[in-house]
């Protein structure tokens, strides 16, 4: 009875919209009152122990920065439990880590594929996201290191990013939550890549000269390609799997992906998603430097 009641609470307004091809979730009532968090059922003892171990190992594996060298720290999170988001997070992390020289400084969180006790990655929960951001903040030199975040999930019309583990957890990451977490951790120079519907809402709270924000859609547009059977969303495919994997830098790759996505959407009669970018000049200079160093 208790489980059914909490499951009903978890479902408040967080159902996936009817159109399976768009990365959009329907309107929601926020039981957390705008705070960053999630409603969740407890894991079994075995699954909880495994998650604790996975997360501790992931944090422990992050190497310290090297004085005098611009290091890149990469945090990737797939916040929805459909396989497409874990696939995009896993493969996107591999591409970005290679191309930015972030091996040993990469952490991946996902909504999970398979039974909770048999997961390959730590769970993409608000606690884990904030703890990962906090640990990276402890390791970096804010004056010389770059932090890259790649976030993928469904999105809400109010600009929030959906956090959902099927039948267990529901929450939302709003742009201001991410802004505040990065500020609290002292992460100054950053690239934030958001693959979701309405992702352009992340630009205004984050934009400054030390930040690059690349989004799959404008603040009032849906993005596409998030069916569970796919390996990538349209944005992840065009941007990371095609452009960046084949040698483009992040900014040039984003521009190429925007053209590719526009062509796909036109061919399929879809409303243009209109991917958006903000490129702060100081972040752009550091990104260009680390991309050169990684080659």
At 111, which CATH number?
3.40.50.1460
Q: Is 67 exposed, middle or buried (0-12, 13-18, 19+ CB in 10 A)?
A: exposed
What percent of the chain shows pLDDT beyond 90? 83
Please name the residues in contact with 258: beta carbons below 8 A apart, sequence gap of 6 or more.
Answer: 238, 275
pLDDT given at position 29: 57
Q: What value does the mean pLDDT take over residues 138-163?
A: 97
Domain coverage including residue 186: 54-294
Q: Within 13 A of 292's CA, how many CA atoms are on the CB side? A: 8
pLDDT given at position 115: 61
pLDDT bin (cut points 50, 70, 90) of residue 118 is confident
pLDDT given at position 17: 35
pLDDT given at position 23: 65
Tell me the average pLDDT of the chain.
91
290, 146 contact by CB (below 8 A): yes
pLDDT tens, position by position, 271-286: 999 999 999 999 999 9
pLDDT given at position 15: 39
pLDDT given at position 39: 94
pLDDT given at position 32: 82
Q: What value does the mean pLDDT take over residues 137-156?
A: 98
Q: Cα 78 to chain center, whole Å?
A: 6
pLDDT given at position 183: 98
**127 in a structural domain:** yes
Q: Within 13 A of 198's CA, how many CA atoms are on the CB side? A: 18
Residue 10 in this model has a pLDDT that exceeds 60: no
Residue 143 in this model has a pLDDT that exceeds 50: yes
Q: What value does the mean pLDDT take over residues 18-26?
A: 52
- Residue whose token pair is 């996505």: 261
pLDDT given at position 163: 96
Q: What value does the mean pLDDT take over residues 12-17?
A: 38
DSSP-assigned beta bridge partners for residue 152: 78, 195
196, 154 contact by CB (below 8 A): yes
Residues composing the chain = 295
pLDDT tens, position by position, 27-36: 455 678 889 9
CA angle 196, 202, 203 (to 5 degrees): 125
pLDDT bin (cut points 50, 70, 90) of residue 269 is very high
**120 in a structural domain:** yes
**63 in a structural domain:** yes
pLDDT bin (cut points 50, 70, 90) of residue 255 is very high
- Residue whose token pair is 């849906």: 222
Residue 20 in this model has a pLDDT that exceeds 90: no
pLDDT given at position 224: 97
pLDDT tens, position by position, 204-233: 999 999 999 999 999 999 999 999 999 999
- Residue whose token pair is 């160093």: 293
**110 in a structural domain:** yes
**182 in a structural domain:** yes
pLDDT tens, position by position, 170-179: 999 999 999 9
Q: What value does the mean pLDDT take over residues 10-16?
A: 41
Nearest 5°: phi and psi at 97? -60, -40
Q: Which ranges of 12-125 would DSSP assign to H, the alpha helix?
A: 45-60, 83-100
**6 in a structural domain:** no
pLDDT given at position 295: 85
pLDDT tens, position by position, 92-105: 999 999 999 999 99
Nearest 5°: phi and psi at 272? -55, 135
**175 in a structural domain:** yes
Residue 12 in this model has a pLDDT that exceeds 80: no
**38 in a structural domain:** no
The number of folded domains in the chain is 1
pLDDT given at position 34: 84
């Amino acid at each position: 009875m208790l489980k059914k009641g909490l499951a009903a609470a978890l479902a408040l307004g967080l159902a996936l919209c009817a159109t399976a091809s768009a990365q959009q979730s329907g309107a929601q009532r926020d039981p957390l009152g705008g705070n960053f968090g999630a409603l969740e059922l407890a894991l079994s003892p075995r699954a909880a122990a495994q998650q604790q171990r996975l997360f501790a190992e992931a944090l422990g594996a992050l190497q310290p920065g090297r004085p005098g060298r611009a290091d890149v720290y990469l945090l990737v999170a797939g916040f929805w439990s459909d396989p497409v988001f874990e696939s995009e997070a896993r493969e996107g992390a591999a591409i970005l880590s290679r191309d930015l020289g972030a091996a040993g400084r990469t952490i991946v969180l996902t909504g999970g594929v398979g039974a909770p006790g048999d997961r390959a990655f730590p769970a993409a929960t608000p606690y884990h996201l904030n703890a990962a951001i906090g640990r990276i903040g402890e390791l970096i030199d804010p004056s010389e290191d770059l932090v890259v975040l790649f976030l993928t999930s469904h999105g809400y019309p109010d600009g929030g990013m959906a956090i959902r583990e099927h039948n267990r957890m529901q929450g939302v990451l709003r742009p201001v939550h991410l802004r505040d977490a990065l500020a609290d951790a002292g992460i100054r120079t950053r690239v934030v890549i958001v693959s979701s519907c309405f992702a352009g809402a992340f630009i205004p709270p984050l934009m400054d000269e030390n930040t690059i924000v690349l989004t799959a859609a404008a603040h009032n547009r849906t993005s596409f390609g998030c069916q569970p059977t796919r390996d990538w969303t349209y944005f992840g495919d065009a941007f990371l799997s095609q452009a960046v994997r084949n040698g483009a830098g992040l900014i040039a790759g984003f521009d190429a992906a925007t053209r590719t996505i526009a062509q796909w959407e036109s061919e399929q009669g879809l409303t243009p998603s209109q991917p958006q970018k903000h490129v702060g000049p100081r972040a752009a200079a550091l990104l260009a430097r680390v991309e050169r160093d990684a080659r």
